[in-house]
Amino acid sequence: MESILRNEASEQRLLSIDLSPEVFREEGHKIIDEIATLISSIRNHAVTPAPTPGSLQEKLPATMPLAGMDPSSVMTETWNLLLENSLFNSHPRFWGYITSSPAPTGILGDLMASAINSNCGAFVLAPIATKIEKQTIQWLGSFIGFPAGGGVMVSGGNMANFIGFLAARKAKANWDIRKLGLHVLQGKWRVYTSAETHTWINKAVDLFGLGLDSIRWIPVDTHQKMSLSLLEKSIEEDKRQGFVPLMIIGTAGSVGTGAVDSLKQIGDLCKKYDCWFHVDGAYGGFAAALPELKGLFAGIELADSVAIDPHKWLYSPLEAGCALVKDPSVLTDAFSFHPVYYNFESKEEIQTNFYESGLQNSRGFRALKVWLEFRHLGAEGHMQLIREDIQLAKRFFELLKETREIEAFTQHLSITTFRYKPHGIDRESGQEYLNKLNQTLLDRLQAGGQVFPSNAVLDDNFLLRTCIVNFRTRFSDLKEFLSIVLNEGRLIHEQMQKANGNTLS
């Protein structure tokens, strides 16, 4: 082996994972063609075949392959495996959680990014990629009307919110937190956030050492906005007891209902109590771009940091999140270290090295797809798509309100919540029954493959929920969804009544 290398490796290695240009071209074209076919025939597919883990196991290799196989067979097999056993959020009837249909330009952006393989940790390693990331961050700020002095692309909403949280922690610590850690403040910090906040805040206070006790969950009002009076009362009480208000989180598009908190008033309270103002706009922040919604988002410009996810409402393929900050130095303060083995200090011009602005050192080129999508459709095009998603949700809500057997609950941005409520079941005394019915209904809908909603829980009511961040959805899809809900709902109600020994009137 050694002798062979000595003789031959100068000009040729013994084995390669490389593909010849011919094979790469052939395999690449094949996959591109398959994707084109999938995109254009997506309505012929189930949203998901909803397979069980066990049924999938036998479709995979039994053990780690020791020998290789020809790339063409691997690619074909793999594509078919994915095609037959995946949930498609590119389907026009996928409205679950908050994952958008991926824009085809974004898919091609990911292909280019992967081929160039820029390591966006440092400018010297990724010159044009770093510039494109910087520009993408600026555009995202401009788009939503937030004066972003800086920011960083991240994997998604959790990480984008974590960045804001960690920037706050560092900026507000009046001791050397990097050196001494968190124990100095003796658990006195308090974080104020709506009871409807996404679970990122639970993860954040846990991982970053404050503990769940540091969260003050502020109830929402009847419009699902954080109650300002209860917020201020909570802060005042905490201060009296010697706690230190660290930050207030404004949610701009809550995960459950899409509600947007009163950002202007929260910003004013942050000023009054010297708190960091973070806005979780991972989903809803994009709607701030619409002139007709400027009032709803007024105050977002007061934030110190904003989380916003292009893979939510700019239709980027996963992963694309972004943390925006007003003052770029808060990121380097929180994240910058300078190991001796990096030669990234600029000698002449100022260079941005993104490894100093977040948790990652090596970083992929997430910005490219977002930047491409902005260029392909323009900001006004994106505004129009967001506007249409919202209009569809509003029309759907109107339709639900007019429908007997449906109880429509909320409609904010592009999220609508409702439940199936059969005749004769009281919403108060029948809550448990209705929750069970709608949970069963959701399970069947999600497994049925025709549509894919998810759920919200509001005042202990289990609700169906559609979040339209889907440029392929048409109103006819929502009408069809409603008729499926009614059919399935009636069926389940009947079964539950029978099981309870009742007959339907």
Among 237, 401, 475, 495, the residue binding a second copy under the rule CB under 8 A is 475
DSSP per position, 217-240:
EEPB-TTSPBPHHHHHHHHHHHHH
* Interface with a second copy, residue 99, by CB under 8 A: yes
Among 93, 95, 129, 253, binds a second copy (CB under 8 A): 129
Q: Provide the mask over 241-260, with x wherever binding to a second copy is found by CB under 8 A and - wherever it is not.
A: --------------xx----
Smaller CB separation from a second copy, 98 or 263: 98
Q: Determine if 219 is a binding residue for a second copy (CB under 8 A).
A: no
**In terms of Cα–Cα distance, which of 205, 191, 218 is closest to 275?**
191
Q: Which residues pair with 417 in a beta bridge?
A: 410, 465
Q: What is the distance between the alpha carbons of residues 201 and 162, in angstroms, rounded to a whole number?
A: 8
Bridge partner list, 151:
324
Check binding of 200 to a second copy (CB under 8 A): yes
Q: What stretch of H or E contains 27?
A: helix 21-40
Cis peptide before 26 (omega within 30 of 0): no
Is the separation of the CB atoms in 117 and 330 below 8 Å? no
Query: What is the nearest approach in angstroms of a second copy to the Cβ of residue 192?
Result: 16
Residues 395 to 454: which contact a second copy by CB under 8 A?
Answer: 395, 439, 442-443, 446, 454
CB of 470 to a second copy, least distance (A): 10
Beta bridge partners of 322: 153, 308
CB of 156 to a second copy, least distance (A): 4
CB–CB of 263/228 below 8 Å?
A: no
In the block, tokens 């952006």 appear at 109
Residue 361 within binding range of a second copy, rule CB under 8 A: yes
Does residue number 486 form part of the binding site for a second copy (CB under 8 A)? no
Which residues, numbered 1-20, are part of the site for a second copy (CB under 8 A)?
1-2, 5-6, 9-20
Window 445 to 474, contacts with a second copy (CB under 8 A): 446, 454-457, 465, 471-472, 474
Burial 219-247 (b: 16+ CB within 10 A, else e): ebeeebbbbbebbbebbeebeeeebbbbb
Q: Does 222 bind a second copy (CB under 8 A)?
A: no
116 binds a second copy (CB under 8 A): yes
The smaller minimum CB distance to a second copy, of residues 374 and 409, is found at: 374
> In the complex, what is the shortest distance from the CB of residue 199 to a second copy, in angstroms, rounded to a whole number?
4
Identify the three-state secondary structure at position 465: strand
Of the candidate residues 341, 423, 428, 500, the single one contacting a second copy (CB under 8 A): 341
Number of residues in contact with a second copy, rule: CB under 8 A?
Answer: 197
Q: How far apart are CA 178 and CA 81, in angstroms?
A: 47
Nearer to a second copy, 157 or 422 (CB): 157
348 contacts a second copy (rule: CB under 8 A): yes
Stretch that binds a second copy, among 266-274, 315-323, 429-437, 488-496 (CB under 8 A): 315-323
Residues contacting 400, CB < 8 A, separation 6+: 406, 408, 416, 418, 482
Choosing from 64, 428, 501, 503, the residue that interacts with a second copy (CB under 8 A) is 64
Nearest to a second copy of 303, 385 (CB atom)? 385
